[in-house]
Amino acid sequence: MPDPKVALITGGGRGIGREIALAFAREGLAVAVAARTPSQVEEAAEAVRALGAEALPVVLDVADAGAIPVAVKAVTDALGPVDVLVNNAGIAESAPLAKTDPALWERHLRVNATGPFLLTREVLPGMLERGWGRVINIASLAGLFGAPYVTAYATSKHALVGLTRAVAAEVSGKGVTVNALCPGYVATDLTWKGARNIAAKTGKSFEEALQSLARINPGGRLIEPAEVAAAALKLLPDGGTNGETIVLDGS
């Protein structure tokens, strides 16, 4: 990996994205962290700077198509062109199919699939021009397999896996790789929210609900955000995979 590189990590304000930001900072990358909550992107950027790396907090809603070129320009102006794009911002709301209303469906596709498409489209030409780039899509096991009560989420993550494979084929041999990480349940806010939801609906305690989610992972435990960050780091050096879906299931 030549030169210090510039990474843009969506959903970098907390959870998996923040952990990837810190891991990249330790490797000397400059990191832009983008999400909707200003206090969280500012805090994450501060944590990146504390590791001695350059950082930029970016307030961005990836569902806002018009905001995407503006955000990418802000990163380019402040840190340089984006060499590494991590499409990590995501939402997950559960509902049985009959209660999955069109708004919930649209929201998932817009945030989890269309946002990554628009961001990739924005940065890919520059990566190809420079002959080096990495796109890392944080998909999910739900991007590879079906599961009950998460039709909108699973469909959006399958779309993200499709985007990964199609763009990877298009850029093959040109110095750019596009891969997807597919974790099972990870120890973050998103999983705590799911556990709270199960607890409310089933009368289980929060701990019991959390354990039931951990047991769905083939390894029987929650995955740590640092494990996802370590997998993202492995995709940076030259000679790596392209178009892969890398499963992190805690086993």
235 binds ligand NAP (CB under 6 A): no
Task: For residues 217 and 19, give the distance between their C-alpha atoms in angstroms, rounded to a whole number.
Answer: 20
What is the x/- site pattern for ligand NAP, positions 85-124, by CB under 6 A? Answer: ---xxxxx------------------x-------------
CB 16 within 8 A of CB 88: yes
Considering just the CA atoms, what is the radius of gyration of the chain in Å?
A: 17
Could you give the strand order of the β-sheet that contains 84-87, starting from the edge strand earlier in sequence? Answer: 55-59, 30-35, 6-10, 84-87, 133-138, 176-183, 245-248
- Does 158 sit near ligand NAP (CB under 6 A)? no
Asked if residue 25 binds ligand NAP (CB under 6 A), the reply is: no
Q: Is 40 in the site for ligand NAP (CB under 6 A)?
A: yes
Residue number, 32 or 132, with CB nearest to ligand NAP: 32
Q: CB nearer to ligand NAP: give 17 or 57.
A: 17
Q: Which stretch binds ligand NAP (CB under 6 A): 31-39, 50-58, 94-102, 196-204?
A: 31-39
Among residue numbers 69 through 88, which ones bind ligand NAP (CB under 6 A)? 88
In the bound complex, what is the minimum distance in angstroms from residue 67's beta carbon to ligand NAP? 9
Cα 207 from Cα 116, distance rounded (Å): 33
Q: Active-site residue 153, yes or no?
A: yes
Shortest distance (Å) from residue 149 CB to ligand NAP: 14
Nearest-5° Cα angle at 139, 145 to 246: 80
Establish if 135 lies at the interface with ligand NAP (CB under 6 A): no
* Alpha-carbon span 48 to 141, nearest angstrom: 29
Choosing from 6, 153, 160, 185, the catalytic residue is 153
Question: Quick one: 136 or 171, whose CB is closer to ligand NAP?
Answer: 136
Of the candidates 50, 38, 52, 60, which has an alpha carbon nearest to the alpha carbon of residue 4? 52
Residue 30 or 33 having the CB closest to ligand NAP: 33
| Residue 250 lies near ligand NAP (rule: CB under 6 A) | no
Q: Give the C-alpha separation, 157 to 113, whole Å.
A: 7
Nearest to 152 by CA among 194, 201, 91: 91
Q: Which among 62, 56, 53 is positioned nearest to 10, based on CA atoms?
A: 62
Does position 190 bind ligand NAP by CB under 6 A?
A: yes
Q: Which residues bind ligand NAP (CB under 6 A)?
A: 10-11, 13-17, 35-37, 40, 60-63, 88-92, 111, 138, 140, 183, 185-186, 188-191
